[in-house]
Structure 1
Amino acid sequence: MKSKIAIIFAFMLITLFSIAVCLADNPIVQTVYTADPAPMVYNGVCYLYTGHDADVTVNNFYTMNDWRCFSSTDMVNWTDLGSPLSYTAFSWAKGDCWAGQCVYRNGKFYYYVPMTQKTGGMAIGVAVATSPAGPFTDALGKPLIAHNGSDDIDPTVFIDDDGQAYLYWGHSNLYYVKLNQDMITYSGSVVQVSSKPSNYVEGPFFYKRNGLYYLVFATIPNPSEDLAYSTSTSPTGPWTYRGIIMAHGSCYTNQAGICDYNGNSYLFYHNNNLPGGGSFTRSVCLEKFTYNADGSIPTINMTPSGPPQIGSLNPYVQTEAETICWSSGLKTEVCSEGGRDVSNIENGDYLKVKGVNFGSGATSLDARVASATSGGNIEIHLDSLTGTLVGTCVVQGSGGWQTWVTKSCTISGATGIHDVYFKFIGGSGYLLNFNWWKFNSGTSSSGGTYARFRNAATGLYIDGMGSTANGSNACQWGNSNSNNQQWTIINSGSYGMIQNRATGLYLDGMGNTANGSVCGQLSYSGSNAQQWAEETSGSYVRFKNRQTGLYLDGMGSTGNGSNLCQWSNSASTNQQWQIQQIQ
């Protein structure tokens, strides 16, 4: 990632990319500068881990103090999950959060990251978490790799079919170790690859496809980095150079991350194409590609448009405002209600959500907002900033930037599939903060901030029971009107996640496929186990788990504290739930 060759092309061509940028979907994140992409597919969600280039560069060099995480289920609308890790989590590190990679194994997530040591020189640490979005903690209390100073950067990790995990890394030279099953130690010695791939410089990304091992990396046949790759029939080489897959842009560095998702192949990379971008303020982009019949990777061009959308987005479940395809002028911040919110909103700023499927039509919009000033308006346009205006949400001051209120407005003319533009209008200075939004059609979802779910067969309500422990059972209870019985449905693509108001835990199918298995509650993971399809059944709804296909089922239980269970499709009233909006 950090070549020592002098950087001579920083901050060029900025103005060329500021014209008509709102028509593009690349780079995929606009609220913050991102670099060094490393995708990870877990439970049907594509997670993207990136470096974070600070807005203000110190000493005319890379200023990187944490890593960032984003997620998507359609590869165009990306949700900002915040910072899962910073160098401050490592007592031995003093900064320089450069390119890392995360992998899942045995119920945990392992994040391999390079930093500068307090004693000098680069080293690679490993952090661990139980959620892909973190928070991650130092697994060792010391570096995993502290082998050769400036060479100890850009770790890439891969677990082979036989269970053996490999960690590659290196600048100019290439090294690897065989990780142990615990993923935080290794066996044997550090191996320097004597026959490293031709033209290798830095930024390796290691993976396997159809029995062939791939090593994608940065190379410098020109004044700035191209992306190239080599292949091998063995995880430790020898490596055969296969050529350039992406030519350099105006940014000095580049780094690749490749994954398969939903039957397609994708290349993540970075450039400096955001307004204000440069070789020290980079941004991650994305392209879809198809392997050649012989397994070779074709030449892939940088484009402003990015990949096509997978499916469409359901607007009738609560969606985080920081789920964005494109934006202008906005930032995100930690939200007092959990997760993040969109902030720094000024007159004329906007965000776009792509491919929103309104079906037969939306009738209203709920927006969760806060303002320490006099507020402003949120205009909702279809397909462009000047497209059809289908509604305007008026936001007054709420008394604070984290004093949240729900505002509603009428929507007219929103049918079918459209890109949605939320355009912010008001006076000078910051107008408001934006936490989440949800359209209503009059037939689905909770229709307000919180709702209760009453079983059609028994009259009991789904109840979190005040349980805060991961894996605790979700239960049923008679009418109490407590926060334990209040839930909100949060959008996750075309599915919804159901979060308890009292505890913040989410209903989770727990991967159980047996009829009668208990539905649990866990902290946020974004996995398919926490995603539920909402199916209308007359005046009731049914909730089907994305991972297992089972439905929430009251099991005919009438006793307070009885478990909330799951069952295959029975069409009985045990699987039907009445949504009662909380005013």
Structure 2
Amino acid sequence: MRTARIVASAAIALAATAAFATAAERARTGSNPIVRDVFTADPAPLVVGDTLYLYVGHDEAQRDEMFTMREWLVYSTRDMRHWTAHGPVMNVAGFAWARKDAWASQVIRKNGRYWFYAAVEHDGTHPGKAIAVAVSDRPTGPFVDARGSALITNQMTPKGTHSWEDIDPTVFTDDDGTTWIAWGNRQCYIAKLKPDMIGLDGPITEITPPFFEEGPWLHKRSRTYYLTYASLDRSTQRDEHISYATAPSIGGPWTPRGLLTGSGKYSFTIHPGIAEFRGKWYLFVHNADLAIGDQRGAIGRRAVTVHPLTYARDGTMRPVVQTDAGVTAR
């Protein structure tokens, strides 16, 4: 009997030590999640000089709400370990024609200004999700509506299967100075932006890769273009993963490269953001592995994380394992 008690006590002690170690690791500077005092989602990094800015949606869901998102936040770092909060950069109410839903966004710098593209719910004049564009002279905002109307509405993509296909914009400027925007849910679209950054300069083209669900992200490394996205093989997967495709030009053809990561812990959704900063590459995603007070992570209460990203000699991205260690794993 005494031996059994000793074994049980030892097991409890080991479990407590493991739990303490996990908590301690999460508390380390540079570990995940990046933000611990509010729930955040849909990370979008932007590098400006020696600073990386990270734009996120603010999850405010209560109880069993799915998504309650009213504003976008921004954080900055110069070392990938210490993050400074700059507060909200914009509220969805700043788009007078939008009803709600401060969904995924991305900011890009061009012509000396900062251009903010985001998914919102349009009012009854153009039912469905839409993509807005705002502008600021500073990366930390505040941003203001740049055109007074939606850049993209659901009616502009009539071949889509549902009213929320026009979400999750990603914006990319190529070496020749042309800027492209890609977006979508179930269907992935791409179009060139006009030099003024507030209009489309040509047709909308569909480039949907295998198992595309949402959250596209465009970037380029050397001569290779990358389209990274949240994927869902509905025959085998319950939650979104991250997959990617590559191409020799922004116009394709896009070659599927398979999975980059598994799902985010406890989260149905996942959303990639990729950046090179101080000579190293990073992948930002979100999961639902954060508790704040009595609120635990959920589909509408997520947490942004960051992980080292590396490439093989052939230009493919090596699979990323999501950990609590974050950049401290380097």
Equivalent residue for 2:203? 189
**Are positions 1:133 and 2:140 aligned together?**
yes
**Are positions 1:242 and 2:257 aligned together?**
yes
Counterpart secondary structure, 1:255: coil
Kindly state the Cα deviation for residue 278 of structure 1 after the two structures are TM-superposed.
1.3
Equivalent residue for 1:33? 39
1:202 to 181, 190, 214: 214
Equivalent residue for 1:264? 280
**Are positions 1:294 and 2:322 aligned together?**
no
Separation in 2, partners of 1:102, 1:111: 4
**Are positions 1:44 and 2:44 aligned together?**
no
1:105 to 105, 110, 126: 110
Kindly state the Cα deviation for residue 218 of structure 1 after the two structures are TM-superposed.
0.6
Counterpart residue type for residue 124 of structure 1? I
The alignment-based identity, stated in percent, is 38
Separation in 1, partners of 2:99, 2:251: 32
Kindly state the Cα deviation for residue 308 of structure 1 after the two structures are TM-superposed.
3.1
Counterpart secondary structure, 1:234: coil
1:233 to 229, 234, 248: 248
Counterpart residue type for residue 164 of structure 1? T
State the TM-score, normalizing by the size of structure 2: 0.85
User: Relative to 1, partners in 2 of residues 1:236 and 1:264: Cα closer, same or farther, differing over 3 Å?
Assistant: same
Kindly state the Cα deviation for residue 137 of structure 1 after the two structures are TM-superposed.
0.1
Alignment of 1:97-496 (within 5 A): 97-119=102-124, 120-146=127-153, 147-148=156-157, 149-193=163-207, 196-221=208-233, 222-248=237-263, 249-275=265-291, 276-308=296-328
Kindly state the Cα deviation for residue 236 of structure 1 after the two structures are TM-superposed.
2.0
Kindly state the Cα deviation for residue 301 of structure 1 after the two structures are TM-superposed.
0.7
**Are positions 1:89 and 2:78 aligned together?**
no
CA RMSD of aligned residues (A): 1.8
Separation in 2, partners of 1:209, 1:289: 12
Separation in 2, partners of 1:18, 1:117: 46
Separation in 2, partners of 1:31, 1:107: 33
Kindly state the Cα deviation for residue 189 of structure 1 after the two structures are TM-superposed.
2.3
Q: Deviations over 1:283-319 (max 9, x none)?
A: 0000112211111111111111110399xxxxxxxxx
Separation in 1, partners of 2:97, 2:206: 25
8 Å CA contact retained: 1:269, 1:284: yes
Counterpart secondary structure, 1:151: coil
For CA contacts below 8 A with separation 6 or more, give which structure has more relative contact order: 2
Kindly state the Cα deviation for residue 23 of structure 1 after the two structures are TM-superposed.
2.5
User: Relative to 1, partners in 2 of residues 1:17 and 1:219: Cα closer, same or farther, differing over 3 Å?
Assistant: farther
What count of residue pairs does the alignment treat as equivalent? 292
Kindly state the Cα deviation for residue 167 of structure 1 after the two structures are TM-superposed.
0.3
Separation in 2, partners of 1:111, 1:209: 23
1:23 to 6, 22, 25: 25
Q: Deviations over 1:371-424 (max 9, x none)?
A: xxxxxxxxxxxxxxxxxxxxxxxxxxxxxxxxxxxxxxxxxxxxxxxxxxxxxx
Counterpart secondary structure, 1:214: strand
Q: Deviations over 1:346-372 (max 9, x none)?
A: xxxxxxxxxxxxxxxxxxxxxxxxxxx
Kindly state the Cα deviation for residue 150 of structure 1 after the two structures are TM-superposed.
1.2
8 Å CA contact retained: 1:27, 1:284: yes
The answer for unaligned runs of 5 or more in structure 1 is: 1-15, 311-583
Separation in 2, partners of 1:286, 1:133: 20
- Structure richer in helix, relative to its length: 2
Separation in 1, partners of 2:123, 2:213: 26
8 Å CA contact retained: 1:74, 1:309: no
Kindly state the Cα deviation for residue 142 of structure 1 after the two structures are TM-superposed.
0.3
8 Å CA contact retained: 1:95, 1:115: yes
8 Å CA contact retained: 2:243, 2:261: yes
8 Å CA contact retained: 2:61, 2:67: no
Equivalent residue for 1:463? none
Separation in 2, partners of 1:142, 1:153: 16
Separation in 2, partners of 1:268, 1:251: 15
User: Relative to 1, partners in 2 of residues 1:17 and 1:207: Cα closer, same or farther, differing over 3 Å?
Assistant: farther
8 Å CA contact retained: 2:61, 2:300: no
Kindly state the Cα deviation for residue 200 of structure 1 after the two structures are TM-superposed.
1.2
Moved over 3 A (4+): 16-20
Separation in 1, partners of 2:318, 2:249: 22
